[in-house]
Amino acid sequence: MDSEPADPDDPSDEALTELVNYLTPRRDNEMIATYQNTTAIACPVCEEPFDYLIASKGPQSSLSLDEVMDLCVSVSDDDRAFLFTHE
């Protein structure tokens, strides 16, 4: 079977990086950037409004969470993880 190329109409990667433009930057370090969702944008994974977006800047990141929370995770085409937190 031939392997199918990635669907060029798949908007998910562009949507992930574009989403950041609508969020408020909070914390930033070498590995991750954190943004606060001050306008109740829906999480692209579960479609409920999320509280923070934690965007990794490379294929590997570590982060420490202050508290246990619900997370949704999406990975962009360049292997960066985007974590959406829900209280």
Q: Can you give the binding site for Zn ion, defined by CB under 5 A?
A: 43, 45-46, 72, 84
Cβ-based nearer residue to Zn ion, 28 or 48: 48
Cβ-based nearer residue to Zn ion, 9 or 87: 87
Q: Distance between CA 61 and CA 42 in Å, rounded?
A: 24
Q: Distance between CA 11 and CA 15 in Å, rounded?
A: 6
Nearest to 84 by CA among 27, 28, 75: 75
Q: How far is CA 77 from the centre of its chain?
A: 12
| Nearest approach, Cβ of residue 58 and Zn ion (Å) | 23
| Nearest approach, Cβ of residue 84 and Zn ion (Å) | 5
Cβ-based nearer residue to Zn ion, 32 or 43: 43
3-state secondary structure of 33: strand
| Nearest approach, Cβ of residue 42 and Zn ion (Å) | 8
